[in-house]
Structure 1
Amino acid sequence: MTEDRWRDVDDYIAGQLLGPDPVLDATLAANQAGGLPAIDVAPVQGKFLHLLARMAGAKRILEVGTLGGYSTIWLARALPEDGRLTTLEVDAHHADVARANIATAGLADKVEVIVGPALDSLKGLIGPFDFVFIDADKQNNAAYVRAAIDLSRPGTTIVVDNVVREGGLLDADSRDERIVGTRRLFETVAAEPRLSATAIQTVGVKKWDGFLIAVVD
């Protein structure tokens, strides 16, 4: 199996089950025009997050790492009429692009974008949230999960992206801070009695990676 084959399968799934989405296409185009890195979740992953949030019956969603708002839009679309999403972004320019994309998607009334270091922003939030998606700097993933637990209730779903890193997760001697942070994340979750968790490897347009998925007990 090659990466081209992985991409072809993702494209097939998206074509069969997602269909065209001009709003999300425009979001990615705006991100590119704004000079944002192309590190958004894949379309099939966005729909996966959307469905997880719906399955959780989420009315309050927390996202750590907004970028240009692509995953934010997927998640906000899962909310009921009175639902709210809070998303945290460290880069002011990224936040501006995201706000514009979110407004274009017709979701500005449901989404609050907070600018600043996420660990600082998290201290000012009031829970509980029903669903948490973490996709920011990997060095702080363990700290983000600990903060997410404090802002959760029994039954809250926590999802962390990019936890396999093309197998780099296995490298105990790595000096890559993202891998070091990801291994620390697994150690933290494994030792946390309030969480039931697993992780799923993924392949596709985002190459070889995966999600950690946990529920607060």
Structure 2
Amino acid sequence: MLIINPDAEAYCEALSDSEPAVLQEINRDTHANVMQPRMLSGHFQGRLLSMISHLIKPEFILEIGTYTGYSAICLAEGLKKNGRLLTIDYNEEIETLANANISKAGLTDQIELRIGKAAEIIPEIETPIDLVFIDADKLNYGLYYDLVIDKVRSGGLILSDNVLWDGKVFDSTQNDKKTKYLREFNQKVKNDTRTEKILLPFRDGLFVTRKK
């Protein structure tokens, strides 16, 4: 289900900043050579992630779900000088490609990719987190949220992607496991009194949560 009119989205994308050349290349290569290219953030969402990062000027970003590195590169654009981004992915098959893309963008000193289970890696993080981007296995969104919330500094952001799930979450006839879980996750975020939040009908839904 298309959440946004495609003509409206195309118009907005055309009037937004252009996709940087290195990201255009990663975008093309991902669609040509990698399975499930729909998982890529892409031009429009990538510019939003970059804008959010520039606005808060983070020192440390955590990304859960790397894929081919596109979103990590976008988020890293707003890092403070000497800031860093840790991106975690469970799929070891993407490691070489993602690291190659990060290198292509000239960000090997800022972005660290760790392959493994986010639920095991997150508890090891001791640095206060300024920005979290959750874009991984949907059935663990609540777990990841719980693991990061106390590590996020006051004023920091948690961005949770794909929370409208092709419109299924607000369609009462859709009750598959992931849809039901994402409804519960969205309500969990809504009920968290430690945060301010807004759910944006952007692409497949982006929940923006600010820790008080």
The amino acid of 1:30's aligned partner reads D
The equivalent of 2:69 in structure 1 is 69
- Paired residue for 1:12? 11
The match for 2:80 is: 80
Residue number in structure 2 paired with 1:161:
161
Letter in 2 for 1:216: K
Q: Distance in 2 between matches of 1:155 and 1:10?
A: 29
Deviations 1:77-135 (A, max 9, x none): 11122110000111011122111101000011100001012111212222311011111
What is the RMSD of the two structures over their aligned residues, measured on CA atoms?
Answer: 2.1
Q: Distance in 2 between matches of 1:172 and 1:149?
A: 30
Q: Percent identity?
A: 30
Cα distance in 2 for partners of 1:192, 1:134 equals: 17
| Partner amino acid, structure 1, of 2:114 | I
How far off its partner does 1:175 sit? Answer: 4.3
Runs (5+) with no aligned partner, structure 1 = 204-208
Tell me the matched-pair count: 210
Structure 1 position 10, deviation (Å): 3.2
TM-score (norm 1): 0.88
Is the 2:54–2:77 contact (alpha carbons within 8 Å) kept by the matching residues of 1? Answer: no
TM alignment of 1:121-160, pairs within 5 A = 121-160=121-160
Distance 1:189 1:20, change over 3 A: closer
Please give the secondary structure, in 1, of the residue aligned with 2:168.
Answer: helix
The AA in structure 2 aligned to 1:7 is P
Residue number among 197, 204, 216 corresponding to 2:211 in the alignment? 216
3-state SS of the aligned residue for 1:153?
A: strand
What's the counterpart of residue 102 of structure 1? 102
1:87 and 1:114 in contact (8 A); partners too: yes
Q: Which runs of 4+ in 1 moved over 6 A?
A: none
Unaligned runs of 5+ in 2: none
Contact 1:140 1:181 in 2 (8 A): no
The TM-score normalised by the length of structure 2 is: 0.90
